[in-house]
Amino acid sequence: MTSEILTIGDELLIGQIINTNQAFIAEQLNLINIRVARMTTVGDEMVEILDAFADAWQHHDIVIVTGGLGPTHDDITKKAVCKFFDTDLVQNQDVRTHVQEFMNRRNRPWSPAAEEQTMVPRKAEVVWNPLGTAPGMLFAEGDKRFIVLPGVPYEMKEMILHSVLPLLVLLVHDSVIRHKTLRTTGIAESDLSAALGDIDQLLQGARLAFLPSPAGVKLRITVFDTDAASADRKVQEVEGRIREKVEKYIYGTGKEELQEALGRLLLERKKTIAVAESCTGGLILQLLTSISGSSAYVDRGAVTYSNRSKTEMLGVSPDLINTHGAVSREVAEAMASGIRQAAGTDIGLSVTGIAGPTGGTPDKPVGLVWVGYADLSCSLAVKHHFAGTRETIRERAAAAAMELVRRKLL
Amino acid sequence: MTSEILTIGDELLIGQIINTNQAFIAEQLNLINIRVARMTTVGDEMVEILDAFADAWQHHDIVIVTGGLGPTHDDITKKAVCKFFDTDLVQNQDVRTHVQEFMNRRNRPWSPAAEEQTMVPRKAEVVWNPLGTAPGMLFAEGDKRFIVLPGVPYEMKEMILHSVLPLLVLLVHDSVIRHKTLRTTGIAESDLSAALGDIDQLLQGARLAFLPSPAGVKLRITVFDTDAASADRKVQEVEGRIREKVEKYIYGTGKEELQEALGRLLLERKKTIAVAESCTGGLILQLLTSISGSSAYVDRGAVTYSNRSKTEMLGVSPDLINTHGAVSREVAEAMASGIRQAAGTDIGLSVTGIAGPTGGTPDKPVGLVWVGYADLSCSLAVKHHFAGTRETIRERAAAAAMELVRRKLL
């Protein structure tokens, strides 16, 4: 069984937007073992759309089309679909009710364009679009499926995840599918893999994807099962076995970022934090304060690029800097203690290092980073060697610093 | 005349990477008036590649293929090309010399994989790849062109911009093409368009694209001409006419970001800066210090989220905050003066505002941002109202703050 993804829109052909829909759908189909054999993009041109439909439908079992379902004159996908399947448009009462409620909630008046959205090809089944007004459409011929979705990414994603995938899993595998993502940080992909041990024993039929980024590795569990409750239970079991082995590296699940997980924990524990950054230059503060409501736990921060600023803002003694250098355990600790005292917060956090590409020495190479931590009862510093560009080193350092605080809070 | 872009690689079909190559090539072809009619992606499978070649070559005049030229076993594009054009591989001495130099510079030993890279289809012309070892290939039949490039984005981009486009422009338009991008900030797209006035008179045959982003609007000038010197002169003339009207909004050209332009100016003028951030939470500092060598002009920064930190770190009087509120002209000015005095820098910069989504009031709505500036001779603050999400408001505020310093330096 193979599939083709067909994206429609002039804006794609002029390179105005990058086709992220395609990659998203491809990833999701692969997760349920449906091979994507081809991805095609054409513009809002009837002949080219019909050619692409014919080609895809002839060669593949599953065709997923996105784009061109909007209410403007250049959105012709619905017309093309009617031609291709030799059918006409009829009004769908459920869709009409949904579109009316949708417009009412937004205080938008009824319009011919809204009316147009309530029309669905007679031969199609509606694929529900909870987040928009353009209904999705499904055509079936034997085991083949032709599915048409709007191109608006968040509408399309919702429909793929909650309508299309369950339907295809049932069709292809006679089963349901469940995912869960566990987010780790502070451990490399290879070490994580080693720590998880025998992968077959761990998964017992489930699937696991390793998704690395500078801030950490995500583990995505996928389970197919004939029964929903059993699938949920299996995901839980796999998660349990993973947590047994690498619990301390897991900071969150799903889409939760490290700064959100840390923020949540700081709120829960009623702790406040202040940050002193050298090589990360404000990145940690920027990440922490990107969360709405972070003013409840972020009191302040200092970006101390010059040695003098480390002394004046954080009270780091010039002697300490002269003796050990600005990038050292001693200075990292003094920076964390210094910002904590100045701010009167529960926690002080600091980073000092060499982000590069220049400024490294044999003793202190590019990528050397000290992360400092201080609270009422202790202060400490942890040494890291990060690889990568200036940007990557800064991202890794920021993640390591936030993770240190998270671990201390637990 | 139409074109098709064909991208090859299993990693695209499993959604592991997003197809940015496609959008880049599409944008470039459109710039020279070559319509992209279709974009197709297939995996590393001989039959599917050959089908896609045949389909594209039958329907379109220009076919651009990327991917699958690497030296590993799953890279089969070169083999497919030989089959398709019924030709064999011969060693190319120029390519061999280039690959040898390339390996030597990197201290990498000669290998069968390197040897493989020096082989080129007999019927193909080589498209030079200065940044990598896989040569590009060009096949011509009458006015039709079939061009094969590596999938590594920076290699491909270099080859498109410096080999493929000039060649196609000559072929299609019997002319050369020149681009120049002027980067503006602090003016909305519609105001910029109004300020430029009569567009035909401004351009006199050249083309102009408006490319907006939260940090500002880029203006891309494109000129076609039969003569290179004349094209260069026309770009210069259009740039001159644009600068006459909106010079003060233009901070740089090409790929230069605002933080780079500001950094360059600070270095030139031998000025140092310190920054106090509230709602931007470290974003300005992070941007300024993302530039290697920024320690020469960034002394320090303070992220003052709490009112107390504004007082303790910047010397802003509690009375001032109580009377005017933390988001006010008075506090913005006092923050800028305060960080400047504490740091002993030439310039102090500050931001205080409401990034949302919560925290707004009728008097001080989400998006209200005061930017403060202080130097030896003056201090001032500028009020802004930014629209958008928390992230966009923070980005716009950071750009406005950096731009204020740039203007004061000029």
Task: Kindly list the domain boundaries of chain A, sorted by start residue.
Answer: 2-173, 176-253, 258-409
- pLDDT at position A333, please? 98
Mind telling me how many Å the CA of B225 is from chain A's nearest CA? 22
- pLDDT at position A214, please? 83
- pLDDT at position B384, please? 96
For B46, the token pair is 């001989």
Distance CA(B381)–CA(B349), nearest Å, equals 10
Closest partner residue to B299 among A23, A289, A306, by Cβ?
A306
Residue A207 in contact with partner chain B when CB distance is under 8 A: no
Mean pLDDT of A15-42: 91
Q: Which residues from chain B sit within 8 angstroms of residue A293, using beta carbons? A: 358
| Structure confidence by residue, pLDDT tens digits, B286-315 | 999 999 999 999 999 999 999 999 999 999
Mean pLDDT of B398-407: 97
Mean pLDDT of A238-266: 96
Judged against a pLDDT cut of 80, whether residue A211 lies above it is answered with no
User: B306 with B331: CB under 8 angstroms?
Assistant: no
Closest partner residue to A18 among B12, B18, B282, by Cβ?
B18
Judged against a pLDDT cut of 80, whether residue A16 lies above it is answered with no
The larger pLDDT score, comparing residue A16 to residue A151, is at A151
- pLDDT at position B274, please? 97
Please tell me which residue of chain B has the smallest CA distance to A288.
B281
| Structure confidence by residue, pLDDT tens digits, A335-346 | 999 999 999 999
Distance CA(B155)–CA(A400), nearest Å, equals 33
CA distances from A78 to B40, B184, B357 (A): 22, 40, 37
Distance CA(B330)–CA(B320), nearest Å, equals 7
Cβ of B309 within 8 Å of Cβ of A300? The answer is yes
DSSP conformation class of B346: S
Query: Max alpha carbon distance in chain A (Å)?
Result: 84
Judged against a pLDDT cut of 80, whether residue A72 lies above it is answered with no
The larger pLDDT score, comparing residue A91 to residue B213, is at A91
The pLDDT-based confidence of A252 (bands split at 50, 70, 90) is very high
Least reliable range by pLDDT among A79-83, A142-146, A151-155, B97-101: A151-155
- pLDDT at position B58, please? 96
Q: Which residues from chain A sit within 8 angstroms of residue B29, using beta carbons? A: 15
Token pair 């139409």: residue: B2
Cβ of A303 within 8 Å of Cβ of B308? The answer is no
Cβ of A35 within 8 Å of Cβ of B13? The answer is yes
Bridge partners of residue B181, in order along the sequence: B220
Cβ of B12 within 8 Å of Cβ of A23? The answer is yes
Residue B214 in contact with partner chain A when CB distance is under 8 A: no
Q: Which residues from chain B sit within 8 angstroms of residue A273, using beta carbons? A: none
State percent of chain B over pLDDT 90.
73
Closest partner residue to B43 among A24, A37, A274, by Cβ?
A37
Token pair 């992968």: residue: A199
Interface subset of A 289-308, CB within 8 angstroms of B: 289-290, 292-295, 298-306, 308
User: B325 with B331: CB under 8 angstroms?
Assistant: yes
Q: Which residues from chain B sit within 8 angstroms of residue A41, using beta carbons? A: 22, 38-40
Please tell me which residue of chain A has the smallest CA distance to B391.
A290
Bridge partners of residue B30, in order along the sequence: none
Closest partner residue to B299 among A41, A283, A305, by Cβ?
A305
Calculate the CA B376 to chain-centre distance. 35
Q: Minimal CA–CA distance to B205: which of B225, B185, B187?
A: B225
Judged against a pLDDT cut of 80, whether residue A124 lies above it is answered with yes
Judged against a pLDDT cut of 80, whether residue B212 lies above it is answered with no
| Structure confidence by residue, pLDDT tens digits, A43-57 | 988 999 999 999 999
Interface subset of B 128-187, CB within 8 angstroms of A: none
Mean pLDDT of B361-369: 93
The pLDDT-based confidence of B152 (bands split at 50, 70, 90) is confident
CA-derived radius of gyration, chain B: 27
Calculate the CA B64 to chain-centre distance. 23
Q: Minimal CA–CA distance to A39: which of A27, B176, A329, B120?
A: A27
- pLDDT at position B171, please? 87
- pLDDT at position B111, please? 86
Q: Minimal CA–CA distance to B62: which of B42, B37, B91, B83?
A: B37
What average pLDDT is seen over chain B? 93
Please tell me which residue of chain A has the smallest CA distance to B279.
A289
Q: Which residues from chain B sit within 8 angstroms of residue A304, using beta carbons? A: 300
- pLDDT at position B77, please? 95
Residue B83 in contact with partner chain A when CB distance is under 8 A: no
DSSP conformation class of B402: H
Please tell me which residue of chain A has the smallest CA distance to B8.
A38
The pLDDT-based confidence of B170 (bands split at 50, 70, 90) is confident
User: B374 with B273: CB under 8 angstroms?
Assistant: no
- pLDDT at position A313, please? 95
| Structure confidence by residue, pLDDT tens digits, B106-137 | 777 898 888 999 999 999 999 999 988 999 99
Cβ of B301 within 8 Å of Cβ of A282? The answer is yes
| Structure confidence by residue, pLDDT tens digits, B64-75 | 999 998 776 678
Query: Max alpha carbon distance in chain B (Å)?
Result: 84
User: B236 with B308: CB under 8 angstroms?
Assistant: no
Residue B16 in contact with partner chain A when CB distance is under 8 A: yes
Distance CA(A63)–CA(A85), nearest Å, equals 14
For A43, the token pair is 């513009």
- pLDDT at position B16, please? 76
Token pair 């709007």: residue: A150
- pLDDT at position B30, please? 87
- pLDDT at position A54, please? 97
Mind telling me how many Å the CA of A93 is from chain B's nearest CA? 35
Distance CA(B142)–CA(A150), nearest Å, equals 41
DSSP string over B18-77? --HHHHHHHHHHHHTTPEEEEEEEE-S-HHHHHHHHHHHHHH-SEEEEES--SSSTT--H
- pLDDT at position A210, please? 79
Q: Which CATH class is domain B258-409?
A: alpha beta
Instruction: Indicate whether this complex's ipTM tops 0.85.
Output: no
Report the 3 state secondary structure along chain A.
CEEEEEEECHHHHCCCCCCHHHHHHHHHHHHCCCEEEEEEEECCCHHHHHHHHHHHHHHCCEEEEECCCCCCCCCCHHHHHHHHCCCCEEECHHHHHHHHHHHHHCCCCCCHHHHHHCEEECCCEEECCCCCCCCEEEEEECCEEEEEECCCHHHHHHHHHHHHHHHHHHHHHCCEEEEEEEEECCCCHHHHHHHHCCHHHHHCCCEEEEEEECCEEEEEEEEEECCHHHHHHHHHHHHHHHHHHHHHHEEEECCCCHHHHHHHHHHHCCCCEEEEECCCCCHHHHHHHCCCCHHHCEEEEEEECCHHHHHHHHCCCHHHHHHHCCCCHHHHHHHHHHHHHHHCCCEEEEEEECCCCCCCCCCCCCCEEEEEEECCCCEEEEEEECCCCHHHHHHHHHHHHHHHHHHHHC
User: B4 with B59: CB under 8 angstroms?
Assistant: yes
Calculate the CA B243 to chain-centre distance. 21
Please tell me which residue of chain B has the smallest CA distance to A39.
B41
Amino acid in the structure at residue B56: A
| Structure confidence by residue, pLDDT tens digits, A349-373 | 999 999 988 888 989 999 999 999 9
CA atoms within 13 A on the CB side of B354: 18
Judged against a pLDDT cut of 80, whether residue B44 lies above it is answered with yes
CA distances from A377 to A337, A380, B45 (A): 11, 10, 62
What average pLDDT is seen over chain A? 93
The larger pLDDT score, comparing residue B291 to residue A33, is at B291
- pLDDT at position A86, please? 97
| Structure confidence by residue, pLDDT tens digits, A271-322 | 999 999 999 999 999 999 999 999 999 999 999 999 999 999 999 999 999 9
Pairing mode, strands A144-149 and A216-225: unpaired
Closest partner residue to A22 among B19, B48, B280, by Cβ?
B19
- pLDDT at position B317, please? 97
Cβ of B288 within 8 Å of Cβ of A277? The answer is no
| Structure confidence by residue, pLDDT tens digits, A128-150 | 999 889 999 999 999 999 999 99
The pLDDT-based confidence of B191 (bands split at 50, 70, 90) is confident
Judged against a pLDDT cut of 90, whether residue A23 lies above it is answered with yes
Cβ of A19 within 8 Å of Cβ of B17? The answer is no
Please tell me which residue of chain B has the smallest CA distance to A393.
B290
Q: Report the CATH fold assignment for B2-173.
A: Molybdenum Cofactor Biosythetic Enzyme; Chain A (3.40.980)
Please tell me which residue of chain B has the smallest CA distance to A20.
B18
Taking one residue from A and the other from B, the number of pairs with CB-CB distance under 8 angstroms is 218
- pLDDT at position A75, please? 81
Please tell me which residue of chain B has the smallest CA distance to A29.
B14
Mean pLDDT of B240-251: 96
Mean pLDDT of A36-42: 96
* H-run or E-run covering B181: strand B176-184
User: A237 with A203: CB under 8 angstroms?
Assistant: no
Token pair 């030896």: residue: B376
Length of chain A: 410
State percent of chain B over pLDDT 70.
100
For A356, the token pair is 């590069």
Q: Report the CATH fold assignment for B176-253.
A: Alpha-Beta Plaits (3.30.70)
Cβ of A282 within 8 Å of Cβ of B295? The answer is no
Mean pLDDT of B342-347: 96
Mean pLDDT of A387-398: 90
Cβ of B12 within 8 Å of Cβ of A39? The answer is yes
Judged against a pLDDT cut of 90, whether residue B255 lies above it is answered with no
| Structure confidence by residue, pLDDT tens digits, A147-203 | 999 998 889 999 999 999 999 988 887 777 788 999 999 998 888 988 999 988 999
Q: Which residues from chain B sit within 8 angstroms of residue A397, using beta carbons? A: none
Closest partner residue to B281 among A17, A36, A285, by Cβ?
A285
Q: Which residues from chain A sit within 8 angstroms of residue B305, using beta carbons? A: 289, 294-295, 298-301
Other C-beta atoms closer than 10 Å to the C-beta of B286 total: 26
Mean pLDDT of A98-127: 90
For A93, the token pair is 């009462």
Mean pLDDT of B204-228: 85
Judged against a pLDDT cut of 90, whether residue A226 lies above it is answered with no
Token pair 């979705």: residue: A149
Mean pLDDT of B44-68: 95
Interface subset of B 240-279, CB within 8 angstroms of A: 274-275, 277
Closest partner residue to A301 among B18, B41, B282, by Cβ?
B282
Distance CA(A203)–CA(A206), nearest Å, equals 5
Please tell me which residue of chain B has the smallest CA distance to A313.
B313
Judged against a pLDDT cut of 80, whether residue B154 lies above it is answered with yes
Residues 6+ apart with CB under 8 A from B69: B75, B77, B78, B134, B148, B149, B150, B151
Judged against a pLDDT cut of 80, whether residue B173 lies above it is answered with no
Q: Minimal CA–CA distance to A34: which of A221, A172, A210?
A: A172
Bridge partners of residue A217, in order along the sequence: A212
Cβ of A27 within 8 Å of Cβ of B41? The answer is no
Distance CA(A383)–CA(A61), nearest Å, equals 54
Q: Which residues from chain B sit within 8 angstroms of residue A37, using beta carbons? A: 13, 42-43, 45, 48
Cβ of B38 within 8 Å of Cβ of A40? The answer is yes
Other C-beta atoms closer than 10 Å to the C-beta of B307 total: 16
Interface subset of B 351-380, CB within 8 angstroms of A: 356-358
Most B CBs within 10 Å: which of A14, A27, A286, as the mutation test of the B interface? A286
